[in-house]
Chains A and B, each alone.
Chain A
């Protein structure tokens, strides 16, 4: 199972992405680590080219609120049906609810433990 891990726009906080990538690797996932300065089009292209099973965004800035709708639209436009999951300490329970209605497959707020992230990504990928 292959997961893209990316950080959006100008968000330079990378802790969560690095840690989540490691957690997923340790659990047996293949991680394509895109790192910082990613725009929706970069992520969609990588998901398509890598034939990824899941897109994981680590967010530590509010930019994701603007980029996420664009990302979901682009995925639909190019007919790439890959679930998107989002994690980050800045996600409040209200944010998580909102993201679910937008079509995000899973969210990981600050209280989420590593084993829960692994289990949720597995179940999201399994559909």
Chain B
């Protein structure tokens, strides 16, 4: 191709704006941004930070939303390990009546099992040992394990007909978070950061908080790649906020260095970088200077948002006594509200320990106690601040649990294996019908009989609420346009206001 031809082709492509997608992996985007006269701080279509025209935040790839959004942000309370829907939400008296009887093959219907129960010669049905009562305007049944959640039931939309394709933790969690069972794709929060950008230029758009449950302290691990950016720009990676001396990795200044000394160092670095920019002209250097300033601002904004000391007593009473202990689920729920107030786009909590293969009754009681009060308090707290109307709160795990006992069924004890075919989640907030129960399972609590919701449907619905058409937020990588919902996903319109 001749030189002239290439330049012509280039300007054509520039006009078509297709250029940006083509160089998704290159540095050319920055050069282009400066060519087009853009300033610093705005993210261009490569996700590279350059200047925003609006006063706060960084823009995403979408110039405008696909349709008006109902919500601005999401708090995802991920219950890692697979909470038993049968002890918490999905009341099945038949299982108590037929306790000990073998699961009929007509119900199991060829469902593959995990290696943990595939070898069992019997699958004895077992009902919940915990009582259910009716709550709220519609008399929704909730387990006695969740007394606080029960009080909030008129604000929740409980989906009893979730199903997934994976039967083990890693692929199942990865499926929920990235839309694929195989690792390597971007997490939901990364997709949102990429698509919508950030509303707050001092905090990352995607933050992650972890806590360990008491129900099964030696449970399933997590993986940092669950909040990874996959093939997207690393600006979109989830940033973990920790209950540690360094709340964000590498955030604290080195020993012996004061804030003033750090400022002087940054000024020195910026001046030398700027000098080099004058000599060399590479706009990437300008971007580097801006990133150092953002890092500096994070050194103030992160500790500020993490410092809950000034929260009034009534707030601690709402979230429960553990909210004062950093690193607990309750403390993380309180932090989630504070991050929501700062307009952080996607706030992801993980609470580990829901994997009750054995000793389920004792373990789930503790595990439910870990999360019940604080989850309910978070919804109530957002509501009293007027934040619930543009926030979506999601509560749920990666799959459900079997209606039969794993291991020996005794008078007081049993366990449950992983069950992908039906489980329960709840959502609350903007655009979601409050006080609703959606979907239904059969009397055995095994199969869905009404309104099934696939993981991709759940993802499509969440994106819809944010003003995004899940089929249109894509990223081309190694020859294919990828999206969160892969090639599937239907919006669950029935649960939308």
Mutual binders A and B: no
Interface residues of A (CB under 8 A from B): none
Interface residues of B (CB under 8 A from A): none
